[in-house]
Amino acid sequence: MKEDIFRPIKFGKEIFHPKFYDENSFLMEWTVEAGGGVPPHVHYHMDEHFIISKGEIAFKVNGVKMIKKSGEEFFVPKGTIHSVTNISQGQSEVTVKYSPCADTHRMFQILSTLDREKPDSMINMMKYFYLVPRLGLREFSSIRPAFLMSLMNIIVTLTGKLAGWDKLITKFK
């Protein structure tokens, strides 16, 4: 699969624009509308480094809230539960670096292909989560609390089986 991952992908209030990757890192520009963000989650395979270039971002790490503004940086080590929210009145722009890459490029190859077929669809993310264990990929992130991730995996597995998503396994091998 040779999908161009270096193009913006929109999901709700967020736009992800991959810029670079190699085995050591994955770099993207993340644009998020006011109030948008990512709920509590953890990355087990990579550290996450944020550089805020526009706006104000609230980070919640292990229950502690911190606010970072334009020009500031924030580092989240792998294995750390965190959430991220744009608390600006308008759009925020953030450069995000994952180290190491840990299959993040594969996630964006899959999402880019699915996005071309069905733009801005949250079903694309469900399909990605369905494919991760079936393709032997390292999980990008895990939702917290853990029971929510378990529930999501059950829903995604049932949906995927009923919807015939197994055909995607061959497409993305």
Report whether pLDDT(24) > 60: yes
Q: Are 72 and 104 in contact (CB under 8 A)?
A: no
Mean pLDDT for the stretch of residues 115-141:
94
Overall pTM surpassing 0.85 (yes/no): yes
Per-residue pLDDT tens digits for 32-50: 999 999 999 999 999 999 9
Distances in Å between the Cα of 119 and the Cα atoms of 10, 41, 159 are: 8, 24, 19
Q: Percent of the chain, pLDDT > 70?
A: 98
pLDDT confidence of residue 2: 55
Average pLDDT, the chain: 95
How confident is the model over 58-116, as pLDDT tens digits? Answer: 999 988 999 999 999 999 999 999 999 999 999 999 999 999 999 999 999 999 999 99
pLDDT of residue 144: 87
CA end-to-end distance (rounded Å), the chain: 7
- Please give the DSSP secondary-structure letter assigned to residue 51: E
pLDDT at 22 over 70: yes
- pLDDT class of 20 with cuts at 50, 70, 90: very high
Domains and CATH numbers, the chain: 9-99 (2.60.120.10), 104-172 (no CATH)
Highest mean pLDDT (candidates 17-31, 108-122, 137-151): 17-31
